[in-house]
Structure 1
Amino acid sequence: MSVAFWSLLLGALLIVMVLARTLLARLLLSSAMIYLAVGVALGPLGLSVIRLDPVEHAGILQAATEVALLISLFTVGLKMGAVPLLDRRWLLPLRLAFISMALTVGLITLVGVWALGLPLGAAILLGGILAPTDPVLASGVQTTCSSDPDRLRFSLAGEGGLNDGTAFPFVLLGLGLLGLHELGAQGWRWWLLDLCWATLAGLLIGALAGALIGKLVVYLRTRHHLAVGLDEFLALGLVAVAYGAAQLCLASGFLAVFAAGLALQRVKEQPRTQEPEPPADETGDDGLATHSQHASAAMSQAVQGFNEQLESLAELALVLLVGAMLAYTTPTLALCWFVALLLLPLRGAAVLLGTLGEPLAAHQRSMVCWFGIRGIGSIFYLMFALQNGLSGELAQQLISLTLVTVAASIVLHGVSVGPLMKWYQRREGAAT
């Protein structure tokens, strides 16, 4: 198809989504559901305009999904950065991202070995692919930038922001057991490098990058009126620096970018004594950006706004491709019961076990159990596995399980997010 055709198609889709956004909410349809349907219609199951074989195009798809994840993780970090790091509200998302995620990998592994007949390495790999929840498609339940956010939204956002990084060691473990990744004698390389070092160093590198670059920009703006504007470049540059530095140090780039967003949001103002508020005619972007009492807030707000727009575009492109790739799945009876088992009992069991003892209301716990949204993160890990040598019948089986699970999650969670979140808000309002 010509460039003109693609330009017309994508432009029309973007405009229609803007015009129909309110109507879609009333019809209980999410934007991701529309993108998925359009992808199916344009793929081999429909007009056959998009032909994107996951095996043949794994490299391109891995790069695209990785960029989308990095943008989304940075945005989530910015939204959560207003809560102090030692605040007890961080305990629940940490338990979800580490304990519940590891339990999900274990439960999927058991199902993979005993019910699907997968080798142990492939079952662990499937668990690593499908265990992380998705930050890109979870906009309907994500938190807002506030020092006193809603606990449910904050916990789900934190889980999605962290477990894309914490799932990576399990993907590498699965590949290692399949002979596609070096684990070291008795697994020492996996334990020390892939698990411990990658996690801790990724968080540290991202935090340092976000804090140092943020403080430098605020200092230059408030003291010398330099480095003003181009906040879009700042957002992309910080994501690239945090990710690149982490990867060069063999650390988790995903965790580094998430931590960079947290650190940037936490950059404090550098107020000058007796500096007056900016005049009414200077309260625009440049006026606030160089004022010592508003500079860091203006910087974070501008960066977050730009990243949210990029995140929406990435969601459109990648969910469209997921819909087109559904044609390359192999329909089996196992797909139906596996998806139902993963999204309901397995997710629920992992959350309940991982949050034992956590003071959480029953309706909040049930919402956390349900909103284990799978999406772009799972597609990235699938493409990563294909790029690292996963092939043959085993590859086809994991492609089918992953793509169908993501598509089912987009539909089921997309339909339910509006009514359930409205019910939750009414419940919280009545309790208050």
Structure 2
Amino acid sequence: MTTATWFILIGSLLLVVGFTFSYIKSVPVTSAIVYLVIGCMVGPMGFSLFHFNPLEESALLELLTEIAVLISLYCAGVKMPAPVTLKRWRNPVQLAVVSMALTVGLVTLFGYYWLSLPLGAAVLLGAVVAPTDPVLATEVQVRHADDPDDLRFALTCEAGMNDGSAFPFVMLGLGLLGLHDLGDAGWRWLAVDVLWASGAGIGIGILAGVGVGWLVNKIRASVMGTTFLESFLGLGLIAFAYGISLIVDAWGFLAVFSAAVALRHTELKLSGLQQEYSAPADTHLNGEPQAVAHVHVSESSLIFNEHLERLAEIVLVLLIGGALFWDSWSWRAVGFAAFLFFVARPVSVHLGMLRSRAPGRLRHLAGWFGVRGIGSLYYLMYAIQHGLPEEVALELIHLTLVVVALSILVHGISVKPAISRFWRPRKLRH
């Protein structure tokens, strides 16, 4: 496709999405399905106007997916309810850590014994497909910061955290393939890739989010009438937290999600608000005038970043459709996707939440709505850029593309009917 054709395609799709936004929300499918179908139609499965090769364009795809995930993690983080309490966050933490690790283990066994992959490749495949996606799972994510639905909260929070908690398993898979130093008996992997990188990422994010929230509040209290470009502050926080994490070898995805959560928590605490984004202009706290603008960084930047997130979703899902051939839908790949959706995810969710007080309906639906998407592509492109052998890379690309495409279709078709039939919002328990 020529540059002009690309502009026409993307422009036409944006116009269609803009005009049909209300209609798409009312029908039992997600917008990602529309983008995927169009991508397949213009790609090798349809008119063959273009073919996107993930192996040859792995560097570009890594960058695009990285940016998309970072923006999505920020959007998820600023919609998290405050204050952060262990009781409230227990279920998503179990999903993001225990259930995700179990999924990696189950996929590793399937990949090693059934797909006959090398052990390192099987572990890497598990790490690639285990995390749920913050970009494509908008229908099962928290709608806004005051959303009381505990299912959406659990799935959103899980997607925000497991995009970082999956990284140690990516490095483990690369290490078993001889592409990363695990240390004697895995000590370096445990100390650096698990403990340090995860803890430092969370710490950097908290410090960055609290710092930005405090600084905005301080400036507004000192200089009356000060205004900010909140969308720039949001993007700046994403880039700053992620950049610092890269310098110290911490997991930047965890840092960005933690920074967004900390920013919202700090703004609410300093403004004296309780789970609201608005208050009367003359609200007083301890006799002092309280500016409503204290919470505008998270609110205004969320609106801007959600638009960026939707644009990234359109482009990347189009590329997924343009990377698929008719023979991509092999029984090997489809069977693996079925194992992931119907066995690995539900079993890992139920086992991971055994000791929780989550209701059965929440566990059942959480076990089904483990949407895979852009995050999985990022991890795979990251591994390819770190020297993954071409034969292994091609096999994992094949399996991952089919998993992501089927997740978009299967979960996208079932999400609205399933939630409307089997789920009613329950107020979040503090």
Query: What TM-score do you get using the length of structure 2 for normalisation?
Result: 0.91
Equivalent positions of 1:192-341 (< 5 A) are 192-225=191-224, 228-268=227-267, 270=270, 278=281, 292-327=290-325, 330-341=328-339
Name which of structure 1's ranges 120-129 and 146-155 shifts more when overlaid on structure 2.
146-155
Equivalent positions of 1:20-419 (< 5 A) are 20-80=20-80, 82-146=81-145, 149-225=148-224, 228-268=227-267, 270=270, 278=281, 292-327=290-325, 330-419=328-417
Cα distance in structure 1, aligned partners of 2:226 and 2:203: 25
Do the aligned partners of 2:281 and 2:292 also contact (CA within 8 Å) in 1? no
Cα distance in structure 1, aligned partners of 2:391 and 2:381: 15
Do the aligned partners of 1:375 and 1:409 also contact (CA within 8 Å) in 2? yes
Cα distance in structure 2, aligned partners of 1:74 and 1:23: 27
Cα distance in structure 1, aligned partners of 2:163 and 2:375: 6
Cα distance in structure 1, aligned partners of 2:207 and 2:389: 39
Cα distance in structure 2, aligned partners of 1:308 and 1:143: 13
**How far 1:226 moved relative to its partner?**
6.8
Name which of structure 1's ranges 10-19 and 245-254 shifts more when overlaid on structure 2.
10-19
Cα distance in structure 1, aligned partners of 2:265 and 2:247: 25
Cα distance in structure 2, aligned partners of 1:43 and 1:148: 39
CA 1:63–1:412 in 2, change beyond 3 Å: closer, same or farther? same
Do the aligned partners of 2:204 and 2:241 also contact (CA within 8 Å) in 1? yes
Which runs of no fewer than 5 residues in structure 1 stay unpaired? 280-290
Do the aligned partners of 1:83 and 1:148 also contact (CA within 8 Å) in 2? no
CA 1:202–1:8 in 2, change beyond 3 Å: closer, same or farther? same
Q: Secondary structure at the match of 2:323?
A: helix
Cα distance in structure 2, aligned partners of 1:227 and 1:63: 35
Deviations 1:341-373 (A, max 9, x none): 101111111001000021122222110110010
Name which of structure 1's ranges 159-168 and 1-10 shifts more when overlaid on structure 2.
1-10
Cα distance in structure 1, aligned partners of 2:271 and 2:353: 41
Amino acid at match of 2:67: V
Deviations 1:276-319 (A, max 9, x none): 9648xxxxxxxxxxx73312222221111111111111111111
Cα distance in structure 2, aligned partners of 1:328 and 1:224: 62
Q: Secondary structure at the match of 1:4?
A: helix
**How far 1:193 moved relative to its partner?**
0.6
Which runs of no fewer than 5 residues in structure 2 stay unpaired? 273-278, 283-288
Cα distance in structure 2, aligned partners of 1:8 and 1:180: 42
Cα distance in structure 2, aligned partners of 1:53 and 1:227: 49
**How far 1:26 moved relative to its partner?**
4.1
Amino acid at match of 1:229: F
Cα distance in structure 1, aligned partners of 2:18 and 2:236: 29
**How far 1:23 moved relative to its partner?**
2.9
**How far 1:212 moved relative to its partner?**
0.3
RMSD: 2.1
**How far 1:185 moved relative to its partner?**
2.1
Cα distance in structure 2, aligned partners of 1:180 and 1:57: 20
Do the aligned partners of 1:94 and 1:159 also contact (CA within 8 Å) in 2? yes
Q: Secondary structure at the match of 1:114?
A: helix
CA 1:31–1:219 in 2, change beyond 3 Å: closer, same or farther? same
CA 1:211–1:226 in 2, change beyond 3 Å: closer, same or farther? farther
Do the aligned partners of 1:215 and 1:267 also contact (CA within 8 Å) in 2? yes
Amino acid at match of 2:291: Q
Deviations 1:180-228 (A, max 9, x none): 1111222221111111101010000011001101210122123214761
CA 1:331–1:13 in 2, change beyond 3 Å: closer, same or farther? closer
Deviations 1:233-284 (A, max 9, x none): 1111100000000110110000000001001101246569xxx9648xxxxx
Amino acid at match of 2:87: R
Amino acid at match of 2:58: A
**How far 1:391 moved relative to its partner?**
2.5
CA 1:204–1:26 in 2, change beyond 3 Å: closer, same or farther? same
Cα distance in structure 2, aligned partners of 1:23 and 1:330: 32
Deviations 1:368-405 (A, max 9, x none): 11001000010001111111111232221111110000
Amino acid at match of 1:172: M
Partner of 2:276: none
Query: What TM-score do you get using the length of structure 1 for normalisation?
Result: 0.91
Amino acid at match of 1:53: N
Cα distance in structure 2, aligned partners of 1:300 and 1:143: 15
Cα distance in structure 2, aligned partners of 1:85 and 1:129: 28
Aligned residues: 414
CA 1:313–1:388 in 2, change beyond 3 Å: closer, same or farther? same
Do the aligned partners of 2:230 and 2:296 also contact (CA within 8 Å) in 1? no
Amino acid at match of 2:218: Y
CA 1:46–1:225 in 2, change beyond 3 Å: closer, same or farther? farther
Amino acid at match of 2:373: G
CA 1:357–1:11 in 2, change beyond 3 Å: closer, same or farther? same
**How far 1:8 moved relative to its partner?**
2.4
